[in-house]
Each structure stands twice: as C-alpha cells, then as structure tokens.
C-alpha cells in the first residue's frame, strides 16, 4: 500500500472505533484548453498519480469527525449544524451539504485524509478533496450516483461554500480519468472521448513556481465575470449562444469598442483557446508532438497577455523552457496566478531542464522551485486495505 494510505489508515485506527474503507482521489493535469471549461469550450485533462487518500467509516451517530493530517487539524460537527467555514473545512463540508441539498439522509461518519498534491500548485487538490469524499459518501449512503453526477455535485460544492465559480474540468477528470489516456471533454454537452496519450520518448514535467495560488482570492471569479460580460454583448450582436459559435477573432472585431478592453481581451483569448484545444486534439492523435508544443506556448502567451492570469515567475519558467532544445512545449497550467508550469520534455533532456530551470529560477526569484514527473492515472476509486 502507498505510504500515505498507510499513514491515513493508521491514524484512523488510532483515532476511531470502526474499520474504514480506503479511497484514492487523484489530482489532474490539463494538456490544453485553459479557462474555457466555463466558456463552453473543449479541454484535455487527465487524472494523475498524485492525489488525496481517504479513510471513511460510518460511526452510528449524527456527528461528522474529520482529521486533516496535512493541516494537523480536526473538525467535529453535527450533521444538522453544517455551515460554511473556511479553508479545507469548506471543501469537505460543502460536499456533505450537497448531499443534504439533494434530500439524502446523511448519517454520521469518521474521516481521515491526507495527500501529496502541493497546495495551490494548479493540480487541483480541491477537486481531489471533494471527489474522494463524494465518492465515499455515495457508497456509504447508497445514493447510487454515477461518476458524472458526482463530478457535477463536486462542482456545485466548490461553487457553494468556497465560492469559486469553477468549470467542470477538474471534477470531471478526478472522476473520469483513466491511466494512459487523455480526456477530450466537451464542456458544453459534458460528454467526453478518451484517447491514448503517446508521448514518444517524452515525459510530462511540472515545475512548481511555489507562488501560492488561491483561486478563492477572487481573481478567478473576475475572469469568469469578464467572459460573461463579453458574451452578453456578443449574444445580442451576433445572435449566438456560446463562444464556440464564433468563427474566429475577426468576427469579434466589430464589438471591440462595445466592451471594456479587458473584457474584449478575455473574449479574444477564449475564441483562440477553443480553436487551439480542438487543433491540439487532432495533432496529438496524429502523434505530432512538435505542433502540440507550439500550441502550448501560444496558450501561455494568451493566458499571460490577454487573460492576465500569469505572473512574472510563471512567465520566466516558460521562457526558460523555450530556450531548452529538449523541451517540446510548456505553459502555465490550471487557474494561474502561480502554481505549476506543464512541460513536455524529451527523456534525455529532463535532468538538464530541471537543473537549469531550478538554478536560474533561484537566482532570479530566490525561490526553490520543485519539479515533478507525473504519470496519468485512474479516476477516484476504492483501494484495498492490505495488511
Ligand atoms: C481551475 C478551475 C477549472 C478551470 C481551470 C482553468 O482549475 O477549477 O474549472 O477553469 O482553473 O482552466
């Protein structure tokens, strides 16, 4: 058993009476299609081998008892007293609250969790926390929701107490991920296709800028509002329903003066990124990694200059990647404002890239970046308790 799973299990057995069920709930990477999940776009995420481990058991009471090992904190609350709080408590309680809102008779349970996704790294530790608990409660309470319903429940949970108006990408990847496969998710219809991730002698390397990103800070919701403001103008002007109905950036030009500059820039980015994500799935299926890498750099440029969700540290890391001949492509990943860059790097160049980037980054910002070579993995699942 994984060492974190062992720690979670042991802590549960020391703290509570009943024998728990164990679950693993993954984080995610996103190859391309950033900030378009809430704009009816296409995204290409995959679940990864890093995530959150949960031990959960009913406790024959009306109390919910949580131990968050990574925060060294506990929380005990009666089901009827669930309310919005702060930090990790909001994420778990909001998931329970969504079951309550569905009219499910939630019973008391004990729960211990811990994980290996660095917080604020853009690998969606929040969706991993939500997904693991929702999956466990679905089994424990016999609510028989399918994985897509659980992903949607988790998205509502993130909107509710934490008040991050996220799209569906992270929760979907968390539930629907499959080892060695990418999910091509249509965020308008919430339907997906899988296709194999063939990296042909390359690996996915994440570099954590260690700039702490917290989507709850409000900037994420502001980007969403800008898109909504732009869409309102485009809807009445073009008679369209969605960003995906816009042919190209040219079609936006007549509306440039009818929007604030930042709103227009967000619309421009979204139209371009929807097209890039579609193109990316085609070139990836054709094993054309070089074209894919160029699209990644173009996405970063758009996220930085038009969508304004980058920061000097992430821009610097992407510039470093461009200078390395063994790096096929790179960009900031996830919501932005900090966290990781995602890079596709040739196997033989990985050590050199990590060393060079870490050194230059330290010299410039006096921060020790961290690098992770990630593999894809399955969506949230129960794991066996082995002796
Ligand atoms: C966060 C959100 C997602 C998505 C990304 C940006 O991870 O949770 O829904 O919007 O940012 O692509």
Per-residue pLDDT tens over the stretch 101-119: 999 999 999 999 999 998 8
Instruction: Report d(CA 152, CA 156) in Å as an integer.
Output: 6
Q: Residue 39 corresponds to which tokens in the numbers above? A: 């704009």
Task: Classify residue 132 by burial, with Cβ atoms within 10 Å: 0-12, 13-18, 19+.
Answer: buried
Cβ atoms within 10 Å of 104's Cβ, excluding its own: 16
In a domain, 187, yes or no: yes
pTM exceeding 0.85: yes
Report CA Rg, the chain: 21
In a domain, 258, yes or no: no
Please state the rounded mean pLDDT for residues 207-220.
Answer: 82
Longest dimension (CA), the chain: 67
Q: Are 148 and 172 in contact (CB under 8 A)?
A: yes
C-alpha distances in Å from residue 156, one per residue of 92, 286, 332? 12, 36, 25
CA triple 64-66-67, angle to 5 deg = 160
In a domain, 155, yes or no: yes
- Domain CATH number, residue 85: 3.30.230.10
In a domain, 31, yes or no: yes
For 235, which DSSP code?
Answer: H
Cα 213 to averaged position of ligand 1 atoms, centre (Å): 12
In a domain, 77, yes or no: yes
- Domain with 38 in it: 3-196+377-383
Q: Domains in the chain: how many in total? A: 1
Residues pairing with 55 in the sheet = 22, 112
Residue located nearest, by CA, to atom 10 of ligand 1: 35
Residue 304 dihedral angles phi and psi, to the nearest 5°: -80, -50
How confident is the model over 53-106, as pLDDT tens digits? 999 999 999 999 999 999 999 999 999 999 999 999 999 999 999 999 999 999
Is ligand 1 within 6 A of the CB of residue 167?
Answer: yes
Cα 81 to averaged position of ligand 1 atoms, centre (Å): 30
Instruction: Report d(CA 353, CA 341) in Å as an integer.
Output: 13
How many residues make up the chain in this entry? 387
In a domain, 157, yes or no: yes
In a domain, 316, yes or no: no
In a domain, 240, yes or no: no
Query: For residue 152, which of 137, 136, 167, 142 has the smallest C-alpha distance?
Result: 167
Cα 123 to averaged position of ligand 1 atoms, centre (Å): 10
Query: Higher pLDDT residue, 166 or 386?
Result: 166
Catalytic residues, which ones?
Answer: 170
């Amino acid at each position: 058993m994984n060492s974190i799973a062992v720690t979670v299990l042991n802590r549960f057995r020391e703290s509570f009476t009943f024998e728990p069920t164990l679950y693993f709930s993954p984080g995610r990477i996103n190859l391309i299609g950033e900030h378009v999940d809430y704009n009816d776009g296409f995204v290409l995420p995959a679940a990864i081998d890093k995530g959150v481990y949960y031990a959960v058991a009913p406790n024959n009471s009306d109390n919910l008892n949580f131990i968050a090992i990574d925060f060294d904190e506990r929380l005990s609350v009666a089901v009827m007293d669930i309310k919005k709080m702060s930090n990790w408590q909001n994420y778990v309680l909001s998931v329970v609250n969504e079951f309550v809102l569905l009219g499910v008779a939630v019973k008391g349970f004990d729960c211990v969790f811990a994980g290996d996704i660095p917080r604020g790294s853009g690998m969606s530790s929040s969706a991993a926390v939500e997904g693991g608990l929702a999956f466990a409660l679905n089994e424990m309470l016999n609510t028989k929701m399918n994985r897509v319903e659980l992903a949607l429940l988790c998205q509502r949970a993130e909107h509710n107490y934490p008040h991050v108006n996220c799209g569906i990408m992270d929760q979907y990847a968390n539930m629907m991920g499959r080892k060695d496969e990418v999910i091509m998710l249509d965020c308008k219809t919430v339907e997906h296709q899988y296709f194999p991730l063939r990296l042909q002698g390359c690996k996915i390397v994440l570099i954590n800028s260690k700039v702490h990103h917290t989507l709850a800070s409000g900037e994420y919701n502001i980007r969403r509002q800008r898109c909504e403001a732009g869409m309102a103008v485009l809807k009445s002007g073009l008679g369209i329903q969605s960003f995906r109905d816009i042919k190209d950036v040219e079609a936006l030009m007549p509306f440039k003066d009818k929007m604030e500059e930042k709103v227009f820039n967000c619309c421009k980015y979204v139209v371009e990124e929807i097209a890039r994500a579609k193109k990316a799935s085609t070139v990836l299926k054709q094993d054309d990694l070089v074209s894919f890498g160029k699209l990644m750099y173009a996405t970063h440029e758009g996220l930085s200059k038009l969508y304004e969700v980058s920061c000097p540290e992430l821009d610097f890391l992407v510039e470093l990647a461009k200078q390395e001949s063994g790096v096929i492509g790179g960009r900031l990943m996830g919501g932005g404002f900090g966290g990781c860059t995602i890079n596709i790097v040739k196997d033989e160049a990985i050590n050199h890239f990590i060393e060079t980037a870490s050194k230059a980054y330290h010299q410039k910002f006096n921060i020790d970046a961290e690098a992770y070579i990630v593999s894809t993995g399955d969506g949230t699942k129960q794991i066996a308790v082995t002796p």
